Chain A
């Protein structure tokens, strides 16, 4: 009989390994200055607070559009995907589009907040729309019978009714922004460094590993405490229904406005690529090694998918554990630079196995995020299933294989799709781990570090096409497989 408690501890240690391994470099007194920490902390709090606040406010507004009964269902479904798009696109693309679309772009704390609100309000909207459907599907009828209008219904019933979920969403976005790295670096304009940027600064400029580790420890602990208490407040189960067939939820204006903003965003992405394609003749882009880089990208993506799938299967086997659930909802992986450097310096690997090491780092650092986005809302369902199967005397491995995996198939697929996209677009972790150019994203980074900006974006386009083709193939294969079985 396998002792699940030991396995749970082992699983936790595996996830914590990037940080635990970094502790070996805690050898000297940190060089950090108090003023720098205060400054970084102030910026982190300021950016996270306002990003979370505005994401929640806009999220409520957008959630109305998502549950509106007077909008065709297909349109709201499409909008839901569009709202999640900024979260899943590489930060570089989102930042570039915003810089080009908003001129002059307000670099600094304002720029960081603006970008983060753009990225996260869609996620809040999707999460809140599920809550609205679950909680107010029936109370809307009563309110309508009692003669309530839409404004009163929202002000006095809906908003007080989702207060707790708003706090939870606020906390989660706060935590995500607090540990954000690339957006403050790109959009801070050198004036809005947060704690994450300070961590890189400590290693890069001062070789101060101790300072970086202590900052990371402080940050992870702070976020852990914050999200731990927030999760205790979260009692809602989320509905799987798609929309509310109730006139009090009609919100056509919000829908059109949100769609307009999102289409504007997509328009700018195309505008950038079109402007680049017109200059293509002088660009030395198409070299034979692009094929190898394409394969490298796919290999790392496949390996990341495989490792993430293993981690999720491992999680499912241990998913009865309430403490594991609390750990996963509260834990934010530490600084990517620190985690990747620590892992790669400990694991002895040849140049060829760098693909596997990159995939491992990506999977370990992304797992807690994927759990928060896709899995935590299913925790209660999972517990119910465990109770049921235990009562029936089922074997735990069979429970995972024949009950939990089929039940959470869609969530599983979504998580793997997202890790596939993230790992195919990664260059930051790959650069730290590997001393060779292995992927298309690394080529993009390389081109950007010389004068070939346009070429870099063409490669980014090729990367998008490669990922898109393989995604379509995978979807097709899964579809055929499902029909056959």
Chain B
């Protein structure tokens, strides 16, 4: 028993020391602390968060503290429920559909950013009073090179692609919602939508589970970002993947940041926001997030300069709640419009 007690005491002592060390570290600098709520993938060591934080902290007497939520929708719900008590200054990572919900949930500061150097389509079609875009992506089907091409969205209903592609569930995944917006834009009827659902090998709960079905060879195609093959090319040195060009314009996902009305370090939040859309910040975001930067000059001459290969267009008519209800209806096999 003594040994056991010794072991437990040892574990707790180490943890206590680690905690103490962490607290001292914060106290020594006496710096301002910017609390940024963001997604897990943004804040992780493999995402752009840590590098952005390190570079920004060099130029200010401050500390950027990333606070994570499981996903953007859960972040919105937490903000709605816990609000000011969370002490959040800034949010990074809502897409164009989520900012609508976020605006209804809590109050945001009006942001006046100079967007004249931004990608034209982003500055014109995706401007918002409270949120500023910091990266964007196009979504299409991704698969190994040499596979039969998916040429149009309606090819998904063909027997040739039966159970050969994976999608994301629009109710639990933001790429899934983008796919639904695409179907809506291309005026898929409930029956056609239902056919696509039946043809898919799986409608996975997240982008990661759908994508791993493709990398593990369970399916040939997956709905993903056109920049996904760049990850394999640049990190894994594997040039075997490609994003397919479809005849229909591809859906665009734009990611935004916003500053809460109850921010405690509002000025610092604005400075960090400026840094995110600076050339330096944009380069980090592009290379670590595998998304297009909002400043087009940053991607010029890099492997990310592939935007012109694809047709794309904003879906102005898309209403997520109604579209999700249609999706549920199609899934149930109820085709009455």
Closest 8 CB pairs of A and B: A190-B203, A431-B70, A477-B4, A189-B202, A435-B67, A107-B202, A448-B208, A204-B73
| A36/B328 contact (C-beta < 8 A), A104-B201, A435-B69, A453-B215 known | yes
A287: chain B residues within 8 A (beta carbon)? 45
Q: Are B46 and A292 in contact (CB under 8 A)?
A: no
Whether A204 touches B77, Cβ cut-off 8 Å, given contacts A33-B325, A190-B169, A284-B46, is yes
CB-CB under 8 A from B169, the residues of chain A are 190
In the complex, what distance in Å separates the CA atom of A447 from the CA atom of B208? 9
26 contacts between A and B (CB under 8 A): A35-B328, A35-B334, A39-B328, A103-B218, A104-B163, A185-B205, A186-B209, A189-B202, A189-B203, A200-B172, A204-B71, A206-B321, A284-B45, A284-B46, A295-B11, A345-B81, A432-B70, A435-B67, A436-B67, A445-B40, A447-B46, A449-B40, A450-B46, A450-B47, A450-B208, A451-B235
B271 proximal to A (CB < 8 A)? no
Residue B68 interfacial (CB < 8 Å): yes
The answer to whether A314 has its CB under 8 Å from any CB of chain B is: no
Please state if A446 and B11 are interface contacts (CB–CB under 8 Å).
no
Number of interface residues, chain A, beta carbon within 8 A = 58
Given A33-B325, A99-B218, A302-B8, verify A191-B82 contact (CB < 8 Å). Answer: no
Q: By DSSP majority rule, is chain A's interface helix, strand, loop, or mixed?
A: helix
Contact B18 A473 (CB under 8 A): no
Contact B68 A437 (CB under 8 A): yes
Please state if B81 and A341 are interface contacts (CB–CB under 8 Å). yes
Instruction: Say whether, besides A35-B329, A204-B74, A436-B67, A446 and B200 are in contact (CB < 8 Å).
Output: no
Give A200 to B73 CA distance when docked, in angstroms: 11
Interface residues on B, range: 35 or more
CA distance A450 to B332 in the complex (A): 31
Q: Is B105 an interface residue (CB 8 A)?
A: yes
Q: Does A465 touch B at the CB level, under 8 Å? A: no
Residues on the A chain within 8 Å of B212, using CB: 448, 453
In the complex, how many angstroms separate the beta carbon of A314 from the nearest chain B beta carbon?
21
B204 near A: Cβ within 8 Å?
Answer: yes
The reply to whether the CB of A25 lies closer than 8 angstroms to some CB of chain B is yes
B200 adjacent to A449 (CB under 8 Å): no
Q: Is B216 an interface residue (CB 8 A)?
A: yes
Question: In the bound complex, what is the Cα–Cα distance between A35 and B325 (angstroms)?
Answer: 10
Residues on the A chain within 8 Å of B64, using CB: none
Q: Is the CB of A435 within 8 A of B1?
A: no
Bound-complex Cα distance A189 to B209 (A): 11
With a cutoff of 8 Å between Cβ atoms, the chain B residues found around residue A232 in the complex are none
List chain B residues, Cβ under 8 A from A484. Answer: 1
